[in-house]
A and B are shown apart, each in its own frame.
Chain A
Amino acid sequence: MNLPFSSDAAPATFLIGGAGAGKTELALNLSVFKSSRYGGSTLIDLDIVNPFFRVRKLREEVEALGVKVICPGDRVVSGDIPALPPAAWGALEAPGQAVVCDIGGGEPGLRPLGRMKDIAAARGANVFFVINPFRPGFTSPGELAESFRHMCGLSAMQVTHLVANPNLSGETSVELFREGLAMVQDFAGKTGLPLAFAVVASELAGKLGVAIEGLPGFYSSGDLDVFVLERYWSVPWHFGVVR
């Protein structure tokens, strides 16, 4: 598959969007995918918002897969202070290495990105705005448009593509996925921005008719490009939902 955003031998990719849009899971998967495709990649953890579900928590796991992780130094790695790792700038300036930047969601997470606006433009970076239309603030066309406008302004980045990530976690059905996807496609039509791909959990991919050969990976589902995820978060409380 020759997707427009991956034709570059060493693309830089910024993932922005609302809190809880699925950026971190996507960043982990994209960086692993790029590592296998380009023989290495760099994943930059710029999340200064979410205290727990951050790339740095899985550093050892993804580094074993050929991904170099850049995150705040050891002394502040478990903190909630807005410490951006200086090595991030070096990685973005260095040619020849695929780079994925995971940004904290919402207003406080996006604001520091302004500092990277120029370097991203110089690098010709792809800026993906990730949308889950089942998250508060994105559940209607009006809300989605307003949140998009507001968050793009905060980040000071020029969004190049939209990414659809319609899901209700483990309760995502094919019908729900298609309903959410249609909303993002409609929004893409209104903005004129290309929809780069849709994110699909591996357990849903089969139901969408996707023949998976390896995870994570890009596949086709009809005329839709999908990126099928490997689940890297494994949490001890996942099983026992008490109702």
Chain B
Amino acid sequence: MAKVLMKGNEAIGEAAVLAGCRYYFGYPITPQSELPAYLAKRLPEVDGVFVQAESEVAAINMVYGSGSAGARVMTSSSSPGISLKQEGISYIAGAEVPCLIVNVMRGGPGLGNIAPAQSDYWQSTRGGGHGDYRTIVLAPNSVQEMADMTITGFDLSDRFRNPVLLLSDGVLGQMMEPVNLPEPHDYNINSKKWALGYRGSDKNERNLCSSIFLDNDELEEHNWHLYQKYQVITDLFSKGEYKDFAVEEHLCDDAEIILVGYGIISRILKTVVEKCRKRGIKAGLVRPKVLWPFPTAVFERLAKTASQFLVVEMSCGQMVEDVKLSVDGKKPVFFFGRTGGTVPSDFEILNEVDKLVRPD
């Protein structure tokens, strides 16, 4: 397929179609509205279903239903809308229904503003809803990755029967870059033996997708089952087949200061690292591409060689807590953040690095 110039929001929409997603339920909100707008036009072209629901709460429950029936299904929103979806996400995780949820983050808390932010890290990685559950959280940093991780997200979701969250921000959603779109996937809605309405020849009993377990022992057994699944996922991302996918390192081998950032910030940090190197500062970059499970092992290893860490986020400091937990007090972890919709410049981050490595 020839390259096209796409917005991040559009790239997610087209990649979802190519991944075999034929069901989308959502509600408009800046800065992600191009995604439902794209799919409103695109899904009918492939006999898919697009519904602008009456609310985010309705949309996530439509996702629950479609995912339970075996469909590849997606919803998207921006921060306040994702907050509204949390009850449904908890139900979906409890019932082990695969789906892809896209958050194009904007400034919060509350109504906040429409400018880009990264202040939903806690909500995304801790689970904003109730109960012991986890969502796999992917963090792209380019329009190409918005497309690629959409497809990966659907695959992970199906494999682990777990909701996957694609966590981007307003910059990534709105910016335009050339994209090489993948070839379309074949997806068979009747391929999941657990799904409602499965019609395989080896199936005689009715399937049920539910998160209700009224008996105490049954619920406890279910929760430990989920916990064990999350452990399997964590192992696969920390030392198994997704180890290399989960994190990117840049010039870390001899680095004295490690800059840490995800999403759009990681691209600015790469610029900062290059500038540091030109000034004789041995800086490196760690960019978590997966935020849950968090790539803890990388920080454990680098804490042995680097002198200090600087975490940069478009928030007042959220991921920095996971970095501190991973470094485990072995080296100092500092933080620099901008919030309210301001994207920090390479210049001001460089100033922070200077303060740390050249305190005089």
For residue B34, CB closer than 8 A to chain A, the reply is yes
Which of these binds chain A: B228-236, B297-305, B339-347? B339-347
For residue A2, CB closer than 8 A to chain B, the reply is no
Q: Which residues A151-175 have CB closer than 8 A to chain B?
A: 167-171
Partner of A52, one of B31, B141, B269: B31
Q: Are B4 and A136 in contact, with the CB atoms below 8 A?
A: yes
Interface size class on chain A is 20 to 34
Q: Are A134 and B270 in contact, with the CB atoms below 8 A?
A: no
Q: Which residues B260-285 have CB closer than 8 A to chain A?
A: 264, 266-271, 274
8 A-B pairs with least C-beta separation:
A240-B270, A240-B267, A237-B267, A239-B271, A80-B30, A168-B178, A51-B114, A236-B268
Q: Are B271 and A19 in contact, with the CB atoms below 8 A?
A: no
Interface residues of B: mostly helix, strand, loop or mixed? Answer: mixed
For residue B113, CB closer than 8 A to chain A, the reply is yes
For residue B170, CB closer than 8 A to chain A, the reply is yes
Bound-state CA distance A19–B173 (Å) is 13
Residues of A within 8 A of B (CB): 19-20, 50-53, 78-80, 106-107, 132, 134-136, 139, 167-171, 235-237, 239-243
Nearest chain A CB to B3 CB, angstrom units = 6
Q: Are B170 and A52 in contact, with the CB atoms below 8 A?
A: yes
Bound-state CA distance A170–B170 (Å) is 21
Partner of A242, one of B4, B178, B267: B267
For residue B5, CB closer than 8 A to chain A, the reply is yes
Bound-state CA distance A235–B346 (Å) is 10
Partner of B287, one of A167, A168, A242: A242
Residues of B within 8 A of A (CB): 2-7, 10, 14, 30-31, 34, 37-38, 113-116, 141-142, 144, 170-171, 174-178, 248, 250, 264, 266-271, 274, 287, 341, 343-346
Q: Are A236 and B346 in contact, with the CB atoms below 8 A?
A: yes
- Given A168-B3, A235-B175, A242-B248, 19 new contacts (CB under 8 A): A19-B7, A20-B5, A51-B114, A53-B174, A78-B113, A107-B37, A136-B38, A167-B5, A168-B4, A168-B5, A168-B178, A169-B5, A236-B271, A236-B343, A237-B268, A237-B271, A240-B268, A242-B267, A243-B144
- Would you list 23 pairs from A and B whose C-beta atoms are within 8 A, ordered by A residue? A19-B34, A51-B31, A51-B115, A51-B170, A52-B171, A52-B174, A79-B114, A106-B37, A134-B4, A134-B5, A135-B5, A136-B4, A136-B6, A139-B2, A139-B4, A167-B5, A169-B178, A236-B271, A236-B346, A239-B346, A240-B274, A242-B250, A242-B266
Nearest chain A CB to B12 CB, angstrom units = 12
Residues on A with beta carbons closer than 8 Å to the beta carbon of B14: 136
Q: Are A171 and B174 in contact, with the CB atoms below 8 A?
A: no
Nearest chain A CB to B48 CB, angstrom units = 16
Residues on B with beta carbons closer than 8 Å to the beta carbon of A167: 5
Residues on B with beta carbons closer than 8 Å to the beta carbon of A52: 31, 115-116, 170-171, 174
Residues on A with beta carbons closer than 8 Å to the beta carbon of B345: 236
Using A52-B170, A53-B174 as known contacts, say yes or no to A240 and B269 having CB atoms under 8 A apart: yes
Bound-state CA distance A52–B34 (Å) is 13
- Most-contacted residue by chain B among A79, A169, A243 (CB, 10 A): A169
**In chain A, what residue has the closest Cβ to B269?**
A240
